[in-house]
Structure 1
Amino acid sequence: MTLIDIASLTDELDAGPGLSTLDALEAEAIHIIREVVAEFERPVLLFSGGKDSVVVLHLAARAFAPGRIPFPVLHVDTGHNFPEVIAFRDETVARLGLRLEVASVQSYIDDGRLAERPDGTRNTLQTQPLRDAITAGKHDAVFGGARRDEDKARAKERIISLRDEFGQWDPRNQRPELWSLYNGRHLPGQHVRAFPISNWTELDIWRYIARENIALPPLYFAADREVFRRDGMWWAVTEHSQPREGEEIVTRSVRYRTVGDSSCTGAVESDAADIAAIVAEVAQSTLTERGATRADDRISEAAMEDRKKDGYF
């Protein structure tokens, strides 16, 4: 029996008769999305073209089919995103007939509201454009694709998470969510972040993508690519990530487990060129995708929590 067969069998055994684990996760996520849309006036969905936001968008489409998704999507564009991902984002938005709002980090740097970091990484510069876009759009609820298994800070997060007038998160002020009851009450100027796939794992995401035949950017699949080694990761050779002295450009079969800012996102060596192979690979992994491939999360153990407190997702 293959690893994929074992994963499928385990899913059915865990969930019991009549409802698989994926069915239960899907139902919970759709319930959360519908609850937020019913309770809030101007929701928006963060959509970067990455696998988690793609899954949340797919769930939103399922939640309101055969009608259209009743809210826009928002992308905080660092200016250092992979071109393949931006192209996929635009194709998806056009196909679904969605309104895309873009908060550009580059525009903030150009007019002096933000300063370029010495290391060139822009992922940490997304907070102010995100907060400003939420305020400008008068969005009182923001859907995101964060999962609790990604990071210690995200493991603390509630499914409906209150943000104050400055977009900030207080981990000590978390609301109870007993019996799947979600408290969305907030004061003027405050908003909530909503995480429909909080209880999913990376393996759940990939098994759902396989089941639903969801399209993804090609970077998620293994191919021979030019890369260089830095800090234990394979970095893409792009306009925004170039090798330093002593770092050799080589060709390796690699893929990306997450496709964020190219200036801080590494690849992993892999031969998994299709979804079935990725499911098998992820089933054996002992590191989350952020722990394995995101340089900005290695700054300190509290890196993600510090950014969340400032208003980052």
Structure 2
Amino acid sequence: MSETTIYPRVEEARQRRLETPTSEQPGFETPPSSAPQPTGLTGLSTLDALESESIHIIREVVAEFERPVLLFSGGKDSVVVLHLAAKAFWPAKVPFPVLHIDTGHNFPEVIDFRDRTVERLGLRLEVAAVQDYLDDGRLQERADGTRNPLQTQPLLDAIASGRHDAVFGGARRDEDKARAKERILSLRDEFGQWDPRNQRPELWDLYNGRHTVGQHVRAFPISNWTELDVWRYIEREGIELPPLYYAHEREVYRRDGMWRAVSEVSPAHPGEAIERRTVRYRTVGDMSCTGAVESDAASVADVVREVATSTLTERGATRADDRISEAAMEDRKKDGYF
């Protein structure tokens, strides 16, 4: 990451705040109701306010906890959190490692992007592989073929072995009803489990990170962002993403109302016609449970316009594992899933 990609943004934001007229300065006029209104912090745009809040959260966690780690899958939300962490501590390096729970069903393009990003930023990558648990019998393959729910045990073991007391994630409240219940700092008990009835208040942006031995905290710096906020920020910051997020041709088949990629881990069933279509991915989970959407959005600007008109969240539209039941995500989170 070069100085031209991060530091000037901080200086530009500072200059904008200094140059913003106040009600006591000559020439101040109340902006019309149609103009973008700053939220959260006086004089800041929506994206600036969200960025400032997220960087504050990241710095607070690093100051309060001893061994934080960032869950990094190569998906857009974890990429944005990593970008924010890089800005939070620039010009120093990100002061914590990144952790990936590798199911073995990842898109090859995402794994390649993950490795290039880690190398570019000089990060330490920790990997917990679901395949290792299947090989030694600690886990068993599911009948439906998806490995996404199998990530829980490797995740909890990686947290315990790394003695990580805080785990950053890119979850947002607008993704799912269960995630909407989360606090920004969410306590997990000695078994890594989450109790939605035992949530701490976070009044006035004060975050309580107290925990006992064996417990840890999940931290969500972009909890208050929406999918559109994320894409507008990616556009503004010029953040690189895996190419799957943009329109490309791919062999797919129709299942459960979604276009599924043809691969060794997600083959078409008899009677499912394989077609070549122009698609993109709104989220990049496992190939065995993530669907694509038909789209000709080939650039960030195109995606921003497309997301702005969407009425479904990315998980609701493209994640088969969230359709197992109405409470699928909440049930997994109670067991320790992120």
> Does the alignment reach a TM-score above 0.5?
yes
- How far residue 223 of structure 1 moved from its aligned partner, in angstroms, is 1.1
1:228 is paired with a residue whose SS is strand
Amino acid at match of 1:224: E
Maintained 8 Å contact 1:147/1:197:
yes
Maintained 8 Å contact 1:11/1:21:
no
2:37 is paired with a residue whose SS is helix
Amino acid at match of 2:116: E
Distance across 1 between alignment mates of 2:200 and 2:42: 33
In the other structure, the counterpart of 2:221 is 196
In the other structure, the counterpart of 2:272 is 247
In the other structure, the counterpart of 2:189 is 164
Distance across 1 between alignment mates of 2:55 and 2:318: 29
Are positions 1:24 and 2:49 aligned together? Answer: yes
Report 1 or 2 for greater relative contact order, CA contacts < 8 Å, sequence distance ≥ 6: 1
Runs of 4+ aligned structure 1 residues displaced above 2 Å come to: 9-18
Distance across 2 between alignment mates of 1:204 and 1:130: 28
- Unaligned 5+ segments in structure 2 are 1-32
Maintained 8 Å contact 1:78/1:105:
yes
Distance across 1 between alignment mates of 2:204 and 2:42: 22
Amino acid at match of 2:104: G
Amino acid at match of 1:262: M
Maintained 8 Å contact 2:260/2:291:
yes
Amino acid at match of 2:114: R
Amino acid at match of 2:258: M
In the other structure, the counterpart of 2:244 is 219
The counterpart of 2:203, out of the listed 173, 178, 199, is 178
Summarize the alignment of residues 41-190 of structure 1 with structure 2, pairs less than 5 Å apart.
41-190=66-215
Number of equivalent positions: 305
In the other structure, the counterpart of 1:12 is 36
In the other structure, the counterpart of 2:305 is 280
Maintained 8 Å contact 1:162/1:186:
yes
1:234-270 Cα distance to aligned partner (Å, 9 max, x none): 0001111110011011011100000011100000000
2:279 is paired with a residue whose SS is strand
Maintained 8 Å contact 1:203/1:282:
yes
Percent identity between the two aligned chains: 80
Greater CA drift, 12-21 or 158-167: 12-21
In the other structure, the counterpart of 1:207 is 232
1:115-155 Cα distance to aligned partner (Å, 9 max, x none): 00111100000000000000000000000000000000000
Distance across 2 between alignment mates of 1:78 and 1:251: 26
Maintained 8 Å contact 2:38/2:44:
no
Per the normalisation by structure 2, the TM-score is 0.89
1:235 is paired with a residue whose SS is strand
Are positions 1:232 and 2:276 aligned together? Answer: no
Distance across 1 between alignment mates of 2:131 and 2:290: 18
- Unaligned 5+ segments in structure 1 are 1-8
Distance across 2 between alignment mates of 1:197 and 1:48: 16
Amino acid at match of 2:164: H
In the other structure, the counterpart of 1:3 is none
- How far residue 10 of structure 1 moved from its aligned partner, in angstroms, is 7.2
- How far residue 224 of structure 1 moved from its aligned partner, in angstroms, is 1.3
Distance across 1 between alignment mates of 2:152 and 2:158: 10
Q: Judging changes above 3 Å, is the alpha-carbon distance between structure 1 residues 62 and 141 closer, same or farther for their aligned structure 2 residues?
A: same
| Pair member with larger Rg | 2
Q: Judging changes above 3 Å, is the alpha-carbon distance between structure 1 residues 262 and 251 closer, same or farther for their aligned structure 2 residues?
A: same
In the other structure, the counterpart of 1:6 is none
Amino acid at match of 1:281: E
Per the normalisation by structure 1, the TM-score is 0.96
Maintained 8 Å contact 1:11/1:20:
no
- Aligned-pair RMSD on alpha carbons? 1.2
